[in-house]
Structure 1
Amino acid sequence: MARSTARKRALNTLYEADEKGQEILSLLAERIDHPGAQTPLPEYAIEIIRGVEEHRRTIDSALNQFSQLWKVRRMAVVDRNILRIATWEIKYNPEVPSKVAIDEALSLAKTLSDAESPSFIHGVLSAIDDHKDEIEEIVIPVAEPESPEPEHAEQAPSDPDVHDGADDEGERDEHNSAPVAELKSEEDRVSDDGAGIDSEAGEQAETSADSTDVAIEERSDTEE
């Protein structure tokens, strides 16, 4: 009798979470902390709720496989949660005989669902009991954390006081070119001055030669 009550309390919580679209374990925590006017949830009810949530993917997959009429998402809310509880007991709770789990599910369906539900639930649970060892557990893969991208070394900001070698060479060429130009100018001036000296010397030589010629002519005239 105690477990029958626990199954009904578990069904109420699963039904409420399903209707609200709320996380099952979140609602369970609320019911444990704040039971309200109801008595605290029985331990077996808590075990059922946690077990159904832990294996819900596997349970729903089995129900979809062995249901001849409706898939889980199209079943009445109360029917699919009765089936979830009974499937968990058949597959995961060896303390409860399969016949007891099926009978308890039919009792809940007769009380809380429509007239056609008991026969439908009985057929699905009988098939699950016959093939329970063939039902494969569905494991939700855990996403691996992404490895952080390697950080790129930041380039050191350029120092405006530091110049490239090419700039230094250019500056040295500019500084060196000025003295060269000055030297060339000096050489040009020396060359020009030398040319002037040579010209003056030539003129003086020509004048001296002319003077000598005049003197020779005058001497010849005197001798005659």
Structure 2
Amino acid sequence: MARSTARKRALNTLYEADEKGQDILSLLAERIAEPGAQTPLPDYAIDIVRGVAEHRRNIDHVLNDHSTGWKVWRMPVVDRNILRIAVWEILFNDDVPDKVAIDEAIGLSKTLCDDDSPAFIHGLLSAICTNKETILAGLASSDSAKTDRESHDESESADDSAAKPVDDSETQDTTSDGESA
């Protein structure tokens, strides 16, 4: 199956999850288990949906940073999910050239969105491509900082539990009326 078709099927899944307020991965699991009247989701559609779900916070942050006048939550549902797919392909999928991701997003928007959407999507994705290296560096440094914080939190937790004295009375067996057994 062509990747264009896979993108459209991924868009349908992301759109449905967005409209229902449902977790993306739980809806994806439902669609994989029970495709309904449609053919099973293509592998690439599954990759897209999983990728968008995994990176959605970063994707939405990048969209908010590069969009003028429209935050992600204000965008039409179809537009925002087309953009999420394209940004995932641009930033997190090296198999797809940036220009192809943009062209595919514009193609979807021409058939599924209002007349202003293709130009908006093109401009926003072009700005993201122009700043791709800076964006990726920022994401890498925030991931690194997050990992450092998590490691620090884990070591503090281990230090706290090692330093905490054990109270034998907490581990002593008791009967139902609270007396020691």
TM-score category (smaller protein) = 0.7 to 0.9
Correspondence for 1:74: 74
Correspondence for 1:118: 118
TM-score under structure 2 length normalisation: 0.78
TM-aligned CA deviation for residue 73 of structure 1: 1.2
Q: Does 1:105 align with 2:105?
A: yes
TM-aligned CA deviation for residue 91 of structure 1: 1.0
Alpha-carbon separation, structure 1, partners of 2:45 and 2:167: 56
RMSD: 1.9
Alpha-carbon separation, structure 2, partners of 1:152 and 1:87: 54
Q: Does 1:152 align with 2:160?
A: no
TM-aligned CA deviation for residue 54 of structure 1: 1.1
SS of 1:37's equivalent in the other structure is coil
SS of 1:38's equivalent in the other structure is coil
Q: 1:157-176 maps to which residues of 2 (within 5 A)?
A: none
SS of 1:55's equivalent in the other structure is helix
* Amino acid in structure 2 at the alignment position of 1:93: N
Correspondence for 2:57: 57
Correspondence for 1:40: 40
TM-aligned CA deviation for residue 152 of structure 1: 2.5
* Amino acid in structure 2 at the alignment position of 1:101: A
Alpha-carbon separation, structure 2, partners of 1:132 and 1:150: 51
TM-score under structure 1 length normalisation: 0.64
TM-aligned CA deviation for residue 151 of structure 1: 4.1
Correspondence for 2:85: 85
Deviation track 1:84-109 (CA, whole Å, cap 9, x = no partner) reads: 00011111112211111111101111
TM-aligned CA deviation for residue 2 of structure 1: 0.6
Alpha-carbon separation, structure 1, partners of 2:76 and 2:35: 26
Structure 2 spans left out of the alignment, 5+ residues: 170-181
Alpha-carbon separation, structure 1, partners of 2:12 and 2:165: 52
Correspondence for 2:11: 11
Alpha-carbon separation, structure 2, partners of 1:30 and 1:7: 18
Structure of larger gyration radius:
1
What is the aligned length?
154
TM-aligned CA deviation for residue 69 of structure 1: 1.9
* Amino acid in structure 2 at the alignment position of 1:87: V
Alpha-carbon separation, structure 1, partners of 2:39 and 2:165: 57
SS of 1:13's equivalent in the other structure is helix
TM-aligned CA deviation for residue 150 of structure 1: 4.4
